């Protein structure tokens, strides 16, 4: 075996797991693409001792600390396949390199799939947001919006209303009477019509343009993106390709 364990994913969870393994004098290798989910945000909030720190700088510091352990290794690559081999696993990289270990920890986390609305992608993590607990206070009492994606978007709008005045943009959806009543009680406005584009200087957000030409002033838009696993390895495990012994960790 090349290593006692291979950690797939070098985000907060993966680096934390690898650090404890290295401190246990285990040979551990972290395989990471260096494309963390939170790379679009300038600051990480609510993380004890790191509130307001740049997430990429947090990761860089963690990698430096891990690299100081003699039994730890860091590999910038992408793990594309894993299979059982004797008493352990063989992990194939996008580069063609194959690593072997007794255990695999899947810590690659999620990636977000965003709606295809002009102006949205480039503002993701800046003025188009997912979590008000992470970024809401920076936009307190300003013009806030929630983009309707599913029935849970009504619940999201009710939560975001704790940070300021909210408009729920239906983007072609329809509300039932019960949902409309809940919004009315919290004084949440309803924006009808489909969203055509987001507008503003740079990554700032100043207005939402609807398909009928109307514009509405806005400072931040919350959405619930569709999230999926950022690696195919877990699905391979479900299909029996990796077999028993893969240890899972969220990251």
pLDDT of residue 236: 76
Task: Give whole-number Cα distances, 126 to 12, 42, 94, 138, 251, in Å.
Answer: 21, 7, 31, 10, 21
Burial 212-226 (b: 16+ CB within 10 A, else e): eeeebebbbbbbbbe
From the centroid of its chain, how far is CA 101?
A: 28
Which ranges of the chain have pLDDT less than 70? 237-251
pLDDT of residue 237: 57
Query: DSSP secondary-structure letter at 11?
Result: S
- pTM assigned to the model: 0.85
pLDDT of residue 222: 98
């Amino acid at each position: 075996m090349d290593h006692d364990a291979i950690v797939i994913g070098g985000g907060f969870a993966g680096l934390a797991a690898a650090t404890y393994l290295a401190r246990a004098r285990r040979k551990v290798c972290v395989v990471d693409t260096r494309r963390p989910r939170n790379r679009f945000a300038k600051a990480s909030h609510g993380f004890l001792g790191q509130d307001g720190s740049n997430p990429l700088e947090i990761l860089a510091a963690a990698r430096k600390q891990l690299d100081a352990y003699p039994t730890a290794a860091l590999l910038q690559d992408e793990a594309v396949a894993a299979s059982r081999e004797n008493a352990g696993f063989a992990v194939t990289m996008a580069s063609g390199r194959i690593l072997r270990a007794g255990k695999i920890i899947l810590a690659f986390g999620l990636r977000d799939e965003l709606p295809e609305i002009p102006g949205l992608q480039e503002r993701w993590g800046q003025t188009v947001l997912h979590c008000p607990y992470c970024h809401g206070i920076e936009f307190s009492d300003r013009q806030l919006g929630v983009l309707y994606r599913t029935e849970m978007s009504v619940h999201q709008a009710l939560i975001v209303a704790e940070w300021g005045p909210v408009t729920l943009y239906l983007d072609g959806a329809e509300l039932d009477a019960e949902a409309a009543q809940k919004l009315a009680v919290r004084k949440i406005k309803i924006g009808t019509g489909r969203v055509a584009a987001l507008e503003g200087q740079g990554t700032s957000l100043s207005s939402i343009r609807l398909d009928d030409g109307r514009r509405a002033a806005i400072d931040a838009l919350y959405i619930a993106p569709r999230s999926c696993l950022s690696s195919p390895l877990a699905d391979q495990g479900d299909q029996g390709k990796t077999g028993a012994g893969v240890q899972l960790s969220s990251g």
